Amino acid sequence: MIHPRHDYEDHGQGQVFRFFDQLNSEQQDALTREASAIDLGEVARLFETLVRNPSGGNEALADQLEPADFIPLPRNGGDAAKWREAFETGEAALRSGRVAAFTVAGGQGTRLGFDGPKGTFPVTPIRRASLFQVFAEKIGAASVLYGKPIPWFIMTSVINHEETVAFFERHGFFGLNPERVHFFSQGLMPAVDEQGKILLADKGSVALSPDGHGGSLRALVRSGAIDRMEADGVDTISYFQVDNPLVRCLDPAFIGFHLLAESEMSSKALPKVAPEEKVGVFCRDGSGRDVVIEYSDMPERLATERDAAGELRFRAGSIAIHLFDRDFVRRLGSGGDAGAELPFHKAHKKVSFVDEAGVVIAPDEPNAYKFEMFVFDALPFAKNPVIIETAREDDFSPVKNAEGSDSPQTSRDDQLRQYARWVKAAGIELETDDTGLPTVAFEITPGFADTEAHFVESVKSSREPIVIEEETVLI
Ligand code: UTP
């Protein structure tokens, strides 16, 4: 077999093996393995088409964009009977065991700056339960409610895989059956410098990073997760991100709308609060396909346009909650269909690297390009896509940044506001401020209730009267 070193030299990437002769044989083998897994042709093509010669602006395309249709909530004019039918259809699907939960947790969480996989971040107000624990409890509660253990697939990356699995083991899988929790790692892509040269993280390893949440589709296929779903009778995948503790991991109405429409990919949308809010927007492109346009690609004149009622015309924001049909994922994730492959995007980032002298440099400014796929790029390939409106306060409060917006503080407050709404709906007195934030901090675990309706029922059937005080935890 030809050593990949020659291939790298032929592709102008010989620097990857610059220190090869200084490595011991184990390190040499490791670098060789890493290098063999990289598709040099793909790296060259991405650098050429995304960095060196990016196709010009998409103003012409933008001219043809229309807002995508979405199904409004009943409180905003949606048909309540349709929502009820969808809810019942979704519940039947959950009872029949055809739905799996799927969390993408392969990201690096650099903005949060937490030392450990993001899913292990303590997020709830009193117990300080981790994001993973919150999801585990929601999935566990749904499994009890629907009488079927709901499988949970978790995508990691090699950077956080072992730590993630060890965390679950240490916590007894939070009461879930370990045989129903499946971990797999996503793919990696090398970072390149401004000239397209692959960077080394140290003398014996390439600067690799996860290939984006869009990498989840091919990782589901490559890891065998899709085969396992098929063997277990699962045909519907409920996709959510690891950073959002409010997410309804298995939402019956959403599942119902998806199944009733025979949709291959469905999405939840939130009305944007302001044009500058940093979420992608669901649009319909010139050929009538639904697409998500990133906020940075949305021309300002469209982002700020208002309709006759004074609402933002392009307001359906994407919050990374989707349902996938299993066979659609198999098709897209195996790159089988001509043209049906997710595109890569570039990100200009700071990446530590080894310089020619073998010294590790941590740059102050972006020095490298990373290549990532985005899961919402699957949307235009899907048949019968469905978009439904959701309520921010019941579905979305992510932990992205260490401080400020979308931070542990805002997410904690949003959890408290949700508990407070449920408590008031059950007729229990509770003092809140103008924003709905209770004046005492307390917690409702998903095992007690994970929707307002369940909470009201649980309170009714509770033998003891429910009293909410500082640090109350309802389990
Ligand atoms: P983000 O886009 O917020 O990225 O990911 P991130 O890596 O978590 O955080 P920053 O940007 O470094 O601060 C959104 C979701 O997609 C997952 C993340 O784990 C998170 O659930 N993701 C992201 C992956 O699973 N793989 C990736 O390659 C990127």
Find how far residue 97's CA is from the centre of its chain: 23
Residue 204 domain flag: yes
Ligand 1 atom nearest to 210, measured from its CA: 28
Q: Is the CB of 164 under 6 A from ligand 1?
A: no
Instruction: Answer yes or no: do 357 and 425 share one domain.
Output: no
Residues 6 or more apart from 264 whose CB is under 8 A from it?
324, 325, 327, 328, 381, 382, 383, 384, 385
Residues 6 or more apart from 364 whose CB is under 8 A from it?
350
Ligand 1 atom nearest to 106, measured from its CA: 25
Residue 274 domain flag: yes
- What SS3 state is found at 257? helix
Residues 6 or more apart from 435 whose CB is under 8 A from it?
413, 417
Instruction: Answer yes or no: do 428 and 293 share one domain.
Output: no
Find how far residue 35's CA is from the centre of its chain: 28
Burial status of residue 313 (CB atoms within 10 A of its CB: 0-12, 13-18, 19 or more): middle
Instruction: Answer yes or no: do 372 and 443 share one domain.
Output: no
Q: Rounded to the nearest whole angstrom, what is the distance from the C-alpha of residue 64 to the centroid of ligand 1?
A: 30
Instruction: Answer yes or no: do 355 and 411 share one domain.
Output: no
Closest residue by CA, ligand 1 atom 27: 212
3-state secondary structure 50-73: HHHCCCCCCHHHHHCCEECCCECC
Closest residue by CA, ligand 1 atom 18: 107
| Ligand 1 mutation pick, 243, 318, 396, max ligand atoms within 8 A of CB | 243
Residue 16 domain flag: no
Instruction: Answer yes or no: do 179 and 241 share one domain.
Output: yes
Which token pair is 89? 């259809």
Instruction: Answer yes or no: do 396 and 428 share one domain.
Output: no
Q: Is the CB of 104 under 6 A from ligand 1?
A: yes
Q: Is the CB of 25 under 6 A from ligand 1?
A: no
Residues of the chain with pLDDT under 50: none
Q: Is the CB of 385 under 6 A from ligand 1?
A: no
Find how far residue 419's CA is from the centre of its chain: 24
Q: Is the CB of 208 under 6 A from ligand 1?
A: no
pLDDT computed for residue 194 by the predictor = 97
Q: Rounded to the nearest whole angstrom, what is the distance from the C-alpha of residue 6 to the centroid of ligand 1?
A: 34
Residue 473 domain flag: yes
Residue 351 domain flag: yes
Closest residue by CA, ligand 1 atom 15: 241
pLDDT computed for residue 337 by the predictor = 58
Instruction: Answer yes or no: do 362 and 242 share one domain.
Output: yes
Which of 387, 406, 425 terminates a domain? The answer is: 406
Residue 330 domain flag: yes
Instruction: Answer yes or no: do 401 and 461 share one domain.
Output: no
**The residue count for the chain:** 475
Distance, CA of 228 to CA of 234 (rounded, Å): 8
Q: Can you list the pairs that 174-179 forms with residues at least 24 positions away whose Cβ atoms lie under 8 Å?
A: 174/132, 174/133, 174/136, 174/137, 174/140, 175/136, 175/137, 175/140, 176/136, 176/139, 176/140, 176/143, 176/149, 176/152, 177/149
Residue 18 domain flag: no
Instruction: Answer yes or no: do 336 and 441 share one domain.
Output: no
φ, ψ for residue 7, nearest 5 deg: -60, -40
Q: Rounded to the nearest whole angstrom, what is the distance from the C-alpha of residue 382 to the centroid of ligand 1?
A: 23
| Ligand 1 mutation pick, 218, 242, 249, 350, max ligand atoms within 8 A of CB | 242
Instruction: Answer yes or no: do 423 and 286 share one domain.
Output: no
Instruction: Answer yes or no: do 418 and 351 share one domain.
Output: no
pLDDT computed for residue 420 by the predictor = 98
Closest by Cα among 272, 161, 291, 156 to 216: 156
Q: What is the CATH number of the domain that holds 332?
A: 3.90.550.10
Q: Is the CB of 195 under 6 A from ligand 1?
A: no
Q: Is the CB of 317 under 6 A from ligand 1?
A: no
Task: Name the domain count of the chain.
Answer: 2
Inter-helix orientation angle 131-146/80-95, to 10°: 90
Q: Rounded to the nearest whole angstrom, what is the distance from the C-alpha of residue 243 to the centroid of ligand 1?
A: 8
The residue segments making up the domain with residue 149 are 56-406
- Transcribe 96-111 into DSSP letters: TT-EEEEEE-----TT
Closest residue by CA, ligand 1 atom 25: 106
Which of 406, 426, 461 terminates a domain? The answer is: 406
Instruction: Answer yes or no: do 418 and 307 share one domain.
Output: no
Ligand 1 atom nearest to 111, measured from its CA: 13
Element (H, E) at 454: helix 452-461
Residue 420 domain flag: yes
